[in-house]
Structure 1
Amino acid sequence: MAATLLLTVSGLASGLVVPADERCHSTDKAVLGIDIGATYSCVAVYCNGRVEIIPNDQGSRLTPSWVAFTDGGGRFVVGEAAKEQAVGSPGRAVHDFMRLLGKKFGDDDVQREMTRLPYAVVDMEGKPHVRVDAADGDVRVLSPEEIAAAVLAKMKETAEAHLGRTVSSAVVAVPVYFNDAQRRAISDAGDIAGLDVMRIVSEPIAAALAYGLDNAKSDGKRVVVFDLGGETLDVTALVADDGFFDVLATNGDGHLGGEDFDRRVAATGVRARLSAQHQVRVEIESVLDGGVDLSETLTRAQFEELNDDLFVRTMAPLRKTMADAGLEKGDIDEIIPVGGSTRIPMVQQLIRDYFDGKKEIVKGNNPDETVADGAAVIGRHVAGDDDDKPTMLGNLLNYPTMQCNARTESFSLIHRSIRSPLILVRTISIETAGGALTPMIPRRSRLPAERTHVFTTYLGGQMAVAINVFQGEGSTEKDNTLLGRLALTGIPPASVWNWGWRWRPIQVTVKVDELGDIHVEAADKGGSGKLERLSIVSGEGHEHGRLSKEEIDRMIREVAEDLVEEERIVKERVDALNMLETYIVKHTVTGGETDCEANARAASEWLDGNPAAEKEDCEEKLKELEDACGPFMAAVHETSGLGHDELYVRIIGLDPTYNIKSQRLIISVKDNNTTSGFKREISQPK
C-alpha cells in the first residue's frame, strides 16, 4: 500500500534543552548547513559570530542516516533509534538510500545496488522505491525522496531544539558527482521535510569554504579534498582562481569506506580507537558456535595488515584525479581531509608518501563536520547575516556574495564587482544516429557558453527530426542522463531539387546561460524556415524522475505537524522494544537448554504475538528476562577473555566447530589472501 509518512523523530519534545544564554542570539533568518551523508548526517548554523555544529537529542554531533519503520501508524524514527531497530527487525530499517536518489529503476547501478542492500527495492512507475515491511504484516512503499526527507526533518528539528525557534531554510551538501536529477531529488526531499533548500553545494566545495579558502589570498590555490566516509571514497581537485572554485577533476570508489575496515575486524569502533591508540582490546560476543565470546588485543600494526589491500585501494582515486586534472604533485597547495576515516594513521601516511613527504593534511577542523561547517558558511551569506561587514574566519576578510546552482558546480565569489564565473559540471550532448552522442558544450566550460553544429537527416525522405539532449560524460545515451527532447517536424523531404542530395542540413544551437538553464534551437537550413526551440530550466520540470508538485504536496500533507507529544511516547516505546529484542537475540542461544534460554524463547514468542506491546509491557518482560539470565551470564563472563591470536588474522575466515564429547573448541583459521592457516583446540572451562 502507499506509505503515509509520519516523521517520528527526536526533536523538540525529547531533545536536549539548550539554556537560553547559550542559544543563538541572532534575530536574522537562520539558514542551516546540512551534510546528508550515506552513513551519517550533520547539521550546523552560523550563530553568535561563528559556525556551531549542533548536537542531536542524544548529545552526538553526528546522526546515523538510518530511517526505520515502527509498528502501527506508519511512523518513522531516524538516527540511532532507527539503527537499533535493525538489530531485531532489519526489514524495517533503511540506510544507504542516497544511491537511489534521482535514479531510474532500470539503471545499471540501481540493479547492482539491489543485490547488496538488505531491504527490498521495487519498481514504481520506472523509479526505485523502498519496500518496508512491518512486523504486523503491513507494507509501506516509499520513494528515496521520502526517506531523505525523514533525515532532513531530523536535522531540522535538531536545529530547532538548539535554536529555540522554527527554521525553514537550509543549504544542503551533496557528493560532487551528483547529477541534475539527483540534486533535484534532494530539493524535493527538502520540500517534503518543510525545508526551503536555498542552495545545493558539492561536498568538496563546502569543505574548502570551511577552511577559509574563499578569500582573495587563496586565489590560484590548488586543493585536493580527500573524502573517506563510511561507505564511499571521493577525491576532488579544486582550484580557487579569480573569485571562483573550479572542479578540475573528481574520482572515487563507491564501495570503499570506513565500514569496510570495520568488517575486517568484525567490530565497530576499533578503527576510531586505533587511530588514537597503538592497541585496543576487542571483545566480540557469541562469535563462535555455542555462544563463545572472543576477547583479543589488536594492535595498530595488525589492523594495518588486515586491511592492507583496502589501504592500497584508497590511493587509486587520488592518482587518477591528479592525472585527470593535469596536475603535478608539486602543484597542490592544500590537502583537505573529510570523513572520520581520514584520521587513520596509515591513510595519512599514504597521502604523505604520495606527495613525497612534502605535503601534510590540513588540520584544525573535525573531518566528520567539515562539510556541514562549510554549508553553514554559505547559509550565512544566503541569509545576509554578514551585512557586508568584515568578519573573522581564519583571517580578517570581506566575505563575497556567493552563488551556487544545481547544474553548475562552482561558486561565484563576488568581491567588489558583480560577475558570475560559473562552471558547467557535466557535458551537454546531442544524440545522433545509432545512439552515439555529439558533445556540444564540454564540462568545465565557463558560463554562459554556446555552440552551433550542423547535422543532417539520417534517412532519405525524412520529414521529422527528434533531438535528444543529454548530460554526462558517457559516449552513448545509456550512460548519460536525458534532459529533454525537441521535435522538428514538417520539414520537406530532401531531393536533388531542393538541396542537391538525399539529406537535409539541420542546424542545432545549444546555449547554457549563467543560471545553468539550457536553451536548444533546431532550424532546417534547407530553405523551409522551420524552427523549434526548447528551454530546460534548472530546478523545474518533472523529467528525469523528479517528483511533480502534486506528489510533493501529497507527501507534505502526510507529514504530521502535531506529533510532538506523541513522538515522545512512540520513541520511548520503540526504545523499550529495541532493548527487549536485543536482549532476546543475545540470550536465545547460550550453549545449552538453560532457564535463561527457555525464558528468552518464551519472551520471543510473546513478542511475536504482541508486536504493538506498550513500553511498560516491554520493560516488565525485560525485567523478567534479566532476573532469569543474570546468574547464568555472570558465570559465562567469568570464562571469557581467553586471549589468543585468532583475531588478528582474517576473522571472516573462521570456521569453528565444537566437540561436545571432549569439551574442546576446534578453530580453523585460513588467511583469505594466502594458503597459510592453522587449526587449534581450545579447552573450554567446565
Structure 2
Amino acid sequence: MAKISINLATGALQKEEIIVGIDLGTTNSLVAFINPDGNPQVINDAGKGILVPSIVHFDEHNVALVGSEAACFLLTDPTNTIFSVKRLLGRSYKDVAEHADVFSYKIIDDDSDALVKIQAGNKFYTPIELSAEILKELKARAEHALKTPVNRAVITVPAYFNDSQRQATRDAGKLAGLDVMRIVNEPTAASLAYGIGLNPSQQKTVVVYDLGGGTFDVSILQIQNGIFEVLATNGNTYLGGDDFDRAILNYWIEKNQLNFQEIAKDHVLMQTLRLKAEKAKRALNALSPQSLFNEQIGEIWCTLDKKTFDNLIAIKVEETITACKNALKDADLTTEQIDEVILGGGSTRTNYVKEKVADFFGKIPRDDINPDEVVALGAAIQADVLAGNRSDILLLDVTPLSLGIETMGGLMDVIIGRNSKVPTKAGRQYTTSVDGQVNMKIAVFQGERDLVKENRKLAEFELKGIPAMPAGLPKVDINFLLNADGILTVHAVELRSGVKQEIEITPSYGLSDETVEKMLLDSITHAKSDVAERMIVEAKTAAEQLVYTAERFISKHGEFLTVAEISETNTHIEALKTALKSSDKDIILNKTEDLNEFTRPFAERVMDKAIAGAMKGKRVE
C-alpha cells in the first residue's frame, strides 16, 4: 500500500502537490492555483476560457459533456441538458417546486422530502453526480494546464449554505476524484483575494455582497490577527442573476400577450427566451451599455430598455438590501462601522445593483478584481495555506475525520465534515420510517466512507418515548457539538413531544496516526464505488418505502379506487418489487417513478371525497 503522511492538526494529507481552489458556481465554475511567483491565478486551459459554464449534457449513450460544448445543446436537446444544478444541491422537490417550470429538464417529484433527482434519457442523476461531472471537467482542465495530477482542492460555497448543501458539495468532490481539503465560505475567499487579512496587524470589518447566477449572500466579517470571524450572514440560496433573466422573460411573455403555461410546455421556446433574456441583461450592463435591446424570436418581440430592466429587477435587488440590513442588525453594527464593501459574483456587474449597494452602505464597493474570478482566487490562497506554504493566516484546529450517524440502509450521514474547524456545532433533522415507531436508534460513526460498515463506530443510544405517529410525522433534531478538546456531545430531541437524550464521546480515542492515514486513503481509493453503492442503497430504500405506502393506501382507501386501478397499482408494485431484486439504480428508479406517477392522483381524490363528505348537508353562509 502506498504511504502518505497526515498533519493531524489540519487533517490534511501531506504530499508535495498542487492544491487548487474551485468556485463551483450556479452559472459558471472555474479553478485557480498559486503560480510559481506566489500569486493566485485562474486557469485558462488551452484557450478554452476561464469560465466553465455549469452545464451538463447527456447524449443517447449517457456520456456527459460539460461546459461550453454542453451549452450548445440547451436549444437542440433541452430535456437532457442540465443547468443551474447548484440550486438543487441538498434540496428536495418541495424546496424547488415553484421554480420547476423554468427548468427544461425533468426533476422527479416523488411527493416526499427526499433529495431531488433529475432524469436524462433513461437514467436518473442526483445533483451530487451532476456537480461531480462539472468538478471532473475542472480537474481535467487543471491537470492539462499544469501538467501535473490534481487530487486535492478547496471548494467554495455560499455562506448561507446549510449542512446538507455543504455535505452534498463535499460528496460531489469525492465523486470527482478530489480530496476536498476544506469547504470555504465564498465571502472569506473573496476577502482573501483582495489581500484583506493577510497582514496579521490589520483589523477590518468587511461586508462581502455576493450575487451570483443563482445564489445571494451577504456576510459581515471581522478580520483581526489573521483570523476571520463571521459576525453575521444573510441571504437567499434561491436568488440571483437567473431571477433577473426570469423577470425579463415574464415581461416579454406578458407584453406579447402569450400564455405562460403554453410557453412552459415548449422547452425549446422557453430555453430560447431564457437565453435571449440573459443576452439582453448583458447588453444593457456592458462597459458600453446599449440604451435599448430589440430582437425578435419568430413573432415574439424581445424589446427592453435600461429603465424597464431596472424596474423589473428592483424587487429582487431590494431583497438583497433587506438582507444587508438584517445582517447589520444581527452583527449589531451600522453602515458607518463597515471599513470595506466587496462585490463578488457575476451579477454584481449589473449597474443598478452597484448603485443600490453604494447608496445603502454610503461607500463605493470594491470590484477592481473580476467579480467572476474573485472567489476562485481566494480559494487558491486558502489552498496555499492548507498546503503549509503560508504562516501569516491562522487556521484554527480542525477535526481530521468526519462524524455522522447511520441512516436507513446502513448509510453514513455526515453531520460534521472532515477539516471542520473546532469548536463547532452542526445538526440535521430526521423522522421515523415506520408507522407507530416509538424508539429511534442513533448510532454515531467516524470516517470518510459512504457505508457505516466501513467506518468506525463510536457509540449508540436510543431515543425512547417518541409519540406513536404515522411515519414521517415525528421531527427529531440530532445535534453534534465538538469542543476544542475533541469531545463530541450528541443531543437528540423529538420536537413535538420534547423527548430528549444525549451522550458524550471522545472521537479520537484509540486512533493512531497510521489508522487515520489509512481511513483517509481508503476513502479516496474507494470514492467512486462507495458513491455508486450509496446511490443503489438510497434508491432501494426509497422504493421499499413507496411499496409500503402504496400497499397501505390500497388497504385503507380501496373503496375510492376502481377494480382496474387497484389491479394496475398492484402490477406496478410487483414490477417495483422485482426491480428491487436487482442492483441497477436506474431500473429501480424507473419503476419507482412509474408507481409514483400512476398513484399520484389517488390521494387527491380521497381528500376531495373526504371534504365533500364532511361538508354534506352544511350550508356556507
| Aligned partners of 2:425 and 2:481 also within 8 Å | no
Task: State the match for 1:165 in structure 2.
Answer: 148
Go from structure 1 to structure 2 and tell me whether the alpha carbon gap of 1:350 and 1:164 turns closer, same or farther (over 3 Å shift): same
Quote the offset at 1:89 in angstroms: 1.4
Instruction: Tell me which residue corresponds to 2:76.
Output: 88
CA distance in 2, matches of 1:249, 1:182: 19
1:31 aligns with 2:42: no
TM-score (norm 2): 0.59
Report the Cα distance in structure 1 between the residues aligned to 2:479 and 2:76, rounded to whole angstroms: 58
CA contact (8 A) 1:231 1:257 kept: yes
Quick check: 1:149 aligned with 2:132?
yes
User: Aligned residue for 2:190?
Assistant: 207
Task: Say whether the 8 Å CA contact 2:423–2:481 is kept in structure 1.
Answer: no
What's 1:272 paired with?
282
Which residue does 2:484 correspond to in 1? Answer: 514
Equivalent of 1:68 in 46, 57, 62 = 57
Once the 2 structures are TM-superposed, how far is the Cα of residue 534 of structure 1 from its aligned partner?
5.4
Change (3 A) 1:331 1:116: same
1:224 aligns with 2:207: yes
Distance in structure 2 (CA, Å) of the matches to 1:279 and 1:209 = 34
The answer to which of 336-345 and 272-281 deviates more is 272-281
Aligned match of 2:573: none
Structure 1 letter corresponding to 2:295:
I
Match of 1:78 among 44, 47, 66: 66
Q: Which amino acid aligns with 1:36?
A: L
For each residue in 1:281-311, what CA deviation from the matched residue of structure 2 results, as whole angstroms up to 9, or x when unmatched?
534232526xxx66x6x65344324433333
For 1:67, give the aligned amino acid. Answer: V
Shift of 1:80: 1.7
* Greater C-alpha radius of gyration: 1
Q: Is 1:315 matched with 2:291?
A: no
Distance in 2 (CA, whole Å) between partners of 1:154 and 1:250 is 31
Unaligned stretches of 5+ residues in structure 2: 1-14, 250-276, 403-414, 433-437, 445-458, 466-477, 493-500, 509-515, 517-522, 535-621
Q: Please tell me whether the aligned partners of residues 208 and 336 of structure 1 are also in contact (alpha carbons under 8 angstroms).
A: yes
State the 1:332 CA deviation: 0.7
Aligned 8 A contact 1:218 1:240 in 2: no
Relative to structure 1, the CA distance from residue 34 to residue 517 in structure 2 (aligned partners, 3 Å threshold; closer, same or farther) is farther
User: Is the CA contact 2:157–2:184 (under 8 Å) kept in the aligned structure 1?
Assistant: yes
Q: Kindly state the Cα deviation for residue 516 of structure 1 after the two structures are TM-superposed.
A: 7.7
Structure 2 residue 462 is matched with structure 1 residue 487: yes
Matches within 5 A, 1:586-665: none
SS of 2:72's equivalent in the other structure is helix
- Output the amino acid matched with 2:379: A
- 2:375 counterpart residue number: 371
1:466-615 → structure 2 map (5 Å cutoff): 486-487=461-462, 511-514=481-484, 518-520=488-490, 533=504, 552-553=528-529
Task: Output one character per residue of 1:435-468: Cα deviation in whole Å (capped at 9) or x when no partner.
Answer: 9xxxxxxxxxxxxxxxxxxxxxxxxxxx989889
Deviation of residue 152 (structure 1)?
A: 0.5
TM-score by length of 1: 0.54
| TM-aligned CA deviation for residue 33 of structure 1 | 0.3
Render the CA deviation track for 1:315-359: whole Å, top value 9, x for unaligned. 11111111122111111111110112212222122112112x3x2
Per-residue deviation, residues 71-106 of structure 1 (Å, max 9, x unmatched) = 22x210111222221212111011222233334x47
Residues 378 and 402 of structure 1 are in contact (CA less than 8 Å); yes or no, is this contact kept in structure 2? no
Q: Counterpart amino acid of 2:313? A: N
Asked if structure 1 preserves the Cα contact closer than 8 Å seen for 2:56 and 2:134, the reply is yes
C-alpha distance in 1 between matches for 2:51 and 2:423: 32
- Structure 1 letter corresponding to 2:79: G
The aligned amino acid for 1:375 is A
Q: Counterpart in 2 of 1:673?
A: none
In 1, Cα distance between equivalents of 2:314 and 2:109: 39
Which amino acid is 1:59 matched to? K
Shift in CA distance, 238/424, structure 1 to aligned 2, threshold 3 Å: farther
Could you tell me which residue of structure 2 aligns to residue 380 of structure 1?
A: 384
Match of 2:239 in 1: 256
CA distance in 1, matches of 2:88, 2:507: 23
Describe the shift of the 1:66–1:222 C-alpha distance in structure 2 as closer, same or farther (beyond 3 A).
Answer: same
- Counterpart position of 1:353: 359
C-alpha spacing 1:203/1:510, structure 2 compared with 1 (3 Å)? closer
SS in 2 for 1:159: helix
C-alpha displacement at 1:260, in angstroms? 2.6
Is 1:282 aligned to residue 288 of structure 2? no
Compared CA separation, residues 218 and 373, structure 1 to 2 (3 A): farther
1:121 to 96, 99, 107: 107
Question: How far apart are residue 364 of structure 1 and its match?
Answer: 2.5
Counterparts in 2 of 1:521 and 1:366: CA distance versus 1, 3 Å = closer
Of 216, 229, 235, which aligns to 1:246? Answer: 229
In 1, Cα distance between the equivalents of 2:504 and 2:425?
23
| Separation of aligned partners in 1, 2:292 and 2:481 | 61
Indicate how the Cα distance of structure 1 residues 308 and 127 shifts in structure 2: closer, same or farther if over 3 A, else same. closer
Distance 1:129 1:516, change over 3 A: farther
* 8 Å Cα contact 2:32-2:376 kept in structure 1: yes
| Aligned twin of 2:617 | none
Does residue 362 (structure 1) correspond to residue 366 (structure 2)? The answer is yes
Instruction: Name the counterpart of 2:557.
Output: none
Whether contact under 8 Å (2:220, 2:231) holds in the other structure is yes
Preserved CA contact (<8 Å) 1:122 1:128: no
Where in structure 2 are the equivalents of 1:367-516 lying within 5 Å? 367-386=371-390, 398-400=392-394, 422=422, 424=424, 486-487=461-462, 511-514=481-484
CA distance in structure 1 between the aligned counterparts of 2:44 and 2:485, rounded to whole angstroms: 35
Counterparts in 2 of 1:536 and 1:343: CA distance versus 1, 3 Å: farther
Q: Which residue of 1 aligns with 2:336?
A: 330
User: What SS does structure 2 have at the residue aligned with 1:128?
Assistant: coil
Q: State, as a whole percentage, how many aligned pairs show the same letter.
A: 32
Do the aligned residues in 2 keep the contact of 1:54 with 1:162 (CA within 8 Å)? yes
1:307 alignment partner, SS class: helix
CA distance in 2, matches of 1:531, 1:38: 39
Instruction: Flag the 1:376–1:315 CA change in 2: closer, same or farther, 3 A.
Output: same
Q: In the superposition, relative to structure 1, how do residues 193 and 337 fare at CA in structure 2: closer, same or farther (>3 Å)?
A: same
Task: Return the structure number with greater helix share.
Answer: 2
Q: Structure 1: which amino acid aligns with 2:25?
A: G
Is the CA contact 2:46–2:145 (under 8 Å) kept in the aligned structure 1? no
CA distance in 2 between counterparts of 1:212 and 1:131 reads 40
Q: Secondary structure at the match of 1:268?
A: helix
**Residue pair 1:56, 1:63 contacting (<8 A) in 2 also:** no
CA contact (8 A) 2:218 2:324 kept: yes
Please state whether the residue corresponding to 1:43 is helix, strand or coil.
strand
Distance 1:518 1:222 in 2: 32
How far residue 193 of structure 1 moved from its aligned partner, in angstroms, is 1.0
Q: Is the 8 A contact 2:155 2:180 kept in 1?
A: yes
Paired residues of 1:270 and 1:280 also in contact (CA < 8 A): no
Within 5 Å, which residues of 2 pair with 1:2-81? Answer: 28-49=16-37, 50-56=39-45, 59-72=48-61, 74-81=62-69
Distance 1:516 1:330, change over 3 A: farther
SS of structure 2 residue aligned to 1:29: coil
Q: Are positions 1:236 and 2:224 aligned together? A: no
Alignment gaps of 5+ in structure 1:
1-26, 389-397, 413-419, 436-462, 470-483, 491-507, 523-529, 541-546, 559-686
Q: Report the alpha carbon displacement of residue 225 of structure 1 after superposing the two structures with TM.
A: 0.8
